[in-house]
Structure 1
Amino acid sequence: MTTHGDPEPDPDSSEPGHASTVDRALVHKAAVSEVFVTDVRPRAERSVRTAVQLPLVHAYYNDHLQSPATHDALLLLEAGRQAAIAGTHAHIGFSHDTTMIVDRFTFALADLKALVIGPRPGSLLIDTEYIGKPNRAGRYRKGRVEQRYLVGGEQVGEHAMDVLFLRHQENDALRRAQRGTPAPLTSDYDDRRPGDDPRLVAPERVGRVHPLNVVLAGEVSDDAGISAEFTPSFRNRSLFDHVYDHLPAMTLVEAARQLALLSTAAPRTTHTVGIAAHFARFAELDDAVRLSVPRPGPSDEEGRVTLPVTFHQNGAEIASVTMTMGSLL
């Protein structure tokens, strides 16, 4: 990604700047180091433009073996999530006790070369539009969020989410109704897996350096495809920035990517270029989750392959994440 240290816009300008990150509460994060949004400005009644700085060094998002190195697709996905949340609070008028529950999303990158990491942090703009109708009480209960990612004025990607907007009390009631029992918390566990789990997939096979960022164990491979158990470490504070009562959607997406890289068997040259996900149920903490992917089919004219990953818990499919993988060249 090309960045030249351009001067920050005037504070009175409608263009957002990259001088410092926003308050972590605005993007629902506990750690300042996990905040990537630097500014958010209104563009229209239901539209905002958000500035994002993409880090050069990060224990999770920059822990990759791919060459040439690009800004992580999941970092851009997280940036979009943060931009959407910040916009709802700063300019759309949602209270800070509102939770955004993602039902499904699509994400696509148009230009990987624009995301190659250079000598300076990446400067990104995200245009976000909120689509939906309020109920009779004036509240938005569900809607759609559509985003465009811009680098140097050129669009490099797009992201769309179908979401529910729930207050914390409503979300807690939904969780109790679905489970029938109170949900355990990540803070109830020392960790989800032993630190020396011999079943853990070797980091280099999923394009990683540090074992803490590996979320798969117990790999099984046959003619039909590959499956593995989802075993993220709760000590990974990028994946588990605060206390959860479920396995967050972003951790499932990471698992899908790692299984896709296992399937392609080329983790050093394969990049994520597209994701389509649907989350049917919450992934519970107290039951095993297993994911599977069929053997890769033929690539398309651009050399990209699409891999449908499914997640099962207690015999039911709880999520599906289709990964589109390709190379930079």
Structure 2
Amino acid sequence: MASQTRGLYKGAYYALFPQVEATRPPVAPIPVARELVHRAQAHDVLPTKLIRHDDTNFTVSARRPHHHRLFMTADGRYTASYVLEAIRQTTLLLSHTELGVPLGHHFVMWDMGHRLDAELPVLDTASAGLTLDVEVTDLRRRGAVPAAVALEMTIRAAGRAVGTGSIRFNITSPAAYTRIRGSLPTTSAPGLTAALPAPVDPPTVHHTRACDVVLAASRLPGRWQLRADPTNTLFFDRVNDHIPAMVLVEAAQQAAGLIAPRGRFVPSSSRMNFSRYVELDQPCWIEARQDTTENGTTSVRVTGHQNEQLAFVIEFADTAAL
């Protein structure tokens, strides 16, 4: 209880005195403060503990929720979004507490991916989460603060290795981020988000709520318009000036499910590249193409274009498509 209280006070302290962040990164409390993984609600925080082994090797424990609208299928299996969100939050926690990234700096993600060699075991106890063994494989600094980082991870469940993860990203100060955005907004504002088109039928993408559907039908097969409900706190739990990357991941999963055989696709691996921001007030078009190799591997390549420019590519594969 004392450590939790210290973590809450520390989060309040940095909020009141942000200048402290530039000289001293916060220490990861147990449980992990939501600010360290850029989540507004404590129940959305996945990491529970961080252990430092040396300057480049760390272990992060992450919980597995028993129920979740985006992270679990109706039959209780974990989606790619869960594994990728665990990777993303692990990255943020490690960056702030161990690599010296101040709170308030911006993360510009370029690449992320994962591979599961075995299905995650059934969650039978509250402590049966994941552990991610993290290695910093590339670190370039601008002064004392990292400017570019690459991480490789081994994912373990129930004490055994079940897969891997990777991520590559840049870090910018608030001032540099403003310069990068140029004339584009750096904060969300009323009227910034475009009117939402009607969603595809939620059951077709294995959801029950329209707010969780991020695709709208188009006139062309294998093509949809991106829709992201800004009132859905699963996607927008804090101020955003562009579409969050994890919304794009969810859109890719839904598109893959719509074109995959038998209407269900739970990928065991992913590779993704983000080349530009997807803006809130302009249409983004999602296209998906499915392929099956001779060995039975089903893969789906999903692209997103905005203003006729490629914004991202996400490739999913499943060695045992359902």
The TM-score by the shorter chain falls in which range?
Answer: 0.7 to 0.9
- Post-superposition offset of 1:107: 1.3
- State whether residues 71 and 116 of structure 1, in contact with CA within 8 Å, keep that contact through their aligned partners in structure 2: no
- The 1:127/1:89 distance shift into structure 2, 3 A limit, reads same
In the alignment, the residues of structure 1 paired with residue 275 and residue 192 of structure 2 have an alpha-carbon distance, to the nearest angstrom, of 28
The alignment's C-alpha RMSD in Å is: 2.4
In the alignment, the residues of structure 1 paired with residue 92 and residue 186 of structure 2 have an alpha-carbon distance, to the nearest angstrom, of 25
Which residues of 2 match residues 44-193 of structure 1 at below 5 A?
A: 44-62=54-72, 64-65=73-74, 67=75, 69-112=76-119, 114-118=120-124, 120=126, 122-135=128-141, 137-176=143-182, 181-183=183-185, 185-189=187-191, 192-193=194-195
- State whether residues 57 and 133 of structure 2, in contact with CA within 8 Å, keep that contact through their aligned partners in structure 1: yes
Partner of 2:291: 297
Higher deviation after alignment, 184-193 or 202-211 = 184-193
In the alignment, the residues of structure 1 paired with residue 87 and residue 47 of structure 2 have an alpha-carbon distance, to the nearest angstrom, of 9
- State whether residues 192 and 233 of structure 1, in contact with CA within 8 Å, keep that contact through their aligned partners in structure 2: no
| SS of residue in 2 equivalent to 1:251 | helix
The unaligned stretches of length 5 or more in structure 1 are: 1-18
Partner of 2:8: none
In the alignment, the residues of structure 1 paired with residue 149 and residue 30 of structure 2 have an alpha-carbon distance, to the nearest angstrom, of 30
2:267 maps to 1:272:
yes
Describe the superposition over 1:287-326 as per-residue Cα deviations: whole angstroms up to 9, x where unpaired: 10001112x222452x321111111111111111112135
- The 1:304/1:119 distance shift into structure 2, 3 A limit, reads farther
**2:253 maps to which of 248, 251, 257:** 257
- State whether residues 105 and 277 of structure 1, in contact with CA within 8 Å, keep that contact through their aligned partners in structure 2: yes
TM-score (norm 2): 0.83
**1:285 maps to which of 280, 288, 302:** 280
- The 1:109/1:187 distance shift into structure 2, 3 A limit, reads farther
| SS of residue in 1 equivalent to 2:98 | helix
- State whether residues 56 and 137 of structure 2, in contact with CA within 8 Å, keep that contact through their aligned partners in structure 1: yes
In the alignment, the residues of structure 1 paired with residue 305 and residue 294 of structure 2 have an alpha-carbon distance, to the nearest angstrom, of 28
How many residue pairs get aligned? The number is 294
The unaligned stretches of length 5 or more in structure 2 are: 1-28
- State whether residues 149 and 157 of structure 1, in contact with CA within 8 Å, keep that contact through their aligned partners in structure 2: yes
- Post-superposition offset of 1:99: 2.4
TM-score (norm 1): 0.82
- Post-superposition offset of 1:116: 3.6
| SS of residue in 2 equivalent to 1:160 | strand
- State whether residues 201 and 217 of structure 1, in contact with CA within 8 Å, keep that contact through their aligned partners in structure 2: yes
| SS of residue in 2 equivalent to 1:272 | coil
- Post-superposition offset of 1:136: 6.7
- The 1:115/1:201 distance shift into structure 2, 3 A limit, reads farther
- Post-superposition offset of 1:248: 1.1
In the alignment, the residues of structure 1 paired with residue 291 and residue 132 of structure 2 have an alpha-carbon distance, to the nearest angstrom, of 33
- State whether residues 98 and 166 of structure 1, in contact with CA within 8 Å, keep that contact through their aligned partners in structure 2: yes
- State whether residues 104 and 279 of structure 1, in contact with CA within 8 Å, keep that contact through their aligned partners in structure 2: yes
Partner of 1:320: 313
Partner of 1:16: none
- The 1:70/1:121 distance shift into structure 2, 3 A limit, reads farther
- Post-superposition offset of 1:183: 1.4
